[in-house]
Amino acid sequence: MSDINIRKTGRAGRITLTRPKALNALSYDMCIAIEKAIDDWRDDPEVAVVVLDAEGEKAFCAGGDVAQLYQTGKEGDYDFGRQFWADEYRLNNKLHGYPKPVISFMQGFTMGGGVGIGCHGSHRVVGETSKIAMPECGIGLVPDVGGTLLLAQAPGRMGEYLGLTGARMGPGDVLHAGFADYFVPETEWPDLIAQLAENGDPFILDRAATTPPPSKLAEVQEEVDHLLAPETLEEVEVTLSMSDSEFAADTLKILRRNSPLSMACTLEMLRRLRGPGIGMIPALEQEYRFTARSLEKGDFIEGVRAAIIDKDRSPRWQHADWDVPQADVAAMLAPLGDNELKLEENS
């Protein structure tokens, strides 16, 4: 298919996203194609490593292609979205538990669905243009594609800050937050990929990695840990409002644009994921409980309308303020019974 180039080159299974004009946005067909490729390569002795990259300078993958989700949901078809998310999350889980090295090279924007394919592998590379974010609360979703696990594992309360604000992380921030492993100047990437294809040895990344630019997020880690410590959205608003810092004021301004229901659910999801022994499957199952309901009962359709369809930037969220009843959060995250997401370990 023209949106993705899948092939074997030497000892590498190569997956290249090839729709740079669309910032390599991830479509349903692209998800299915990636899954088939990694399934085929799992037991293929010729493939030692899997390499994920993308054409263009602006983006590795700027997110999932939400236009079709919006259109089908607007027409009352909620099953397409549920199938899309279920299949996408199955791919995310397979990448996370893949038995061979999965190496991603993430230039420019990597957001939403791009995080799902780029940030769960074993070797995650960023460069000087990399900007990674989970901006879902701005369109009435929650951080998904396994993003809640990454956020829950970030230092201190950085996961709450990144999940609620959708802040874009530069390369130093990405390594600080744990979304990537290596900083390598982007001019070196073609040669590294050629070497990976030749010898199938991911340890060349250890030799190529250099010191990333300073992390601005690391500088505010202590303040983030204080401001985002409360467990409910309403308490977060009080803490931010009481602070006289410029950072708190900027954070509050960003949060007031986003869906209160999505933010309240995000806080609850991260809190639940900090228990012992929590892994990828519980994170994805919890995310699916929200997304499976998001078209019918969440703010997603209105969020996409305001941000992408009409572009008026004036969403009418279900909750006018941040006092989101706990019952509403519990309803969005309640088990789905027979419709629960069904994933297998390392599958």
pTM for this predicted structure: 0.96
176-230 residue pLDDT tens? 999 999 999 999 999 999 999 999 999 999 999 999 999 999 999 999 999 999 9
Measured distance CA(101)–CA(342) in Å, rounded: 25
Q: What sign does the CA torsion over 339, 114, 22, 312 have?
A: positive
pLDDT in tens, 170-191: 999 999 999 999 999 999 999 9
82-119 residue pLDDT tens:
999 999 999 999 999 999 999 999 999 999 999 999 99
What would the pLDDT profile of 264-296 be if each residue is shown by its tens digit? 999 999 999 987 778 999 999 999 999 999 999
- CA atoms within 13 A of residue 232's CA, in its CB half-sphere: 12
- Angular region, 337: left φ>0, alpha ψ -120 to 50, beta rest: left
The pLDDT-based confidence of 1 (bands split at 50, 70, 90) is: low
Query: Where are any strands of DSSP class E within the chain?
Result: 4-9, 12-17, 49-54, 59-61, 102-106, 109-111, 123-126, 131-133, 182-183
Tokens describing residue 106: 């993430």
Alpha-carbon distance 136 to 260, whole Å? 12
Under 8 Å between Cβ of 140 and 303:
yes
Instruction: Enumerate the active-site residues.
Output: 64, 113, 136, 144
Residues 245-267: what's their mean pLDDT?
Answer: 97
Give per-residue pLDDT as tens, 13-27. Answer: 999 999 999 999 999
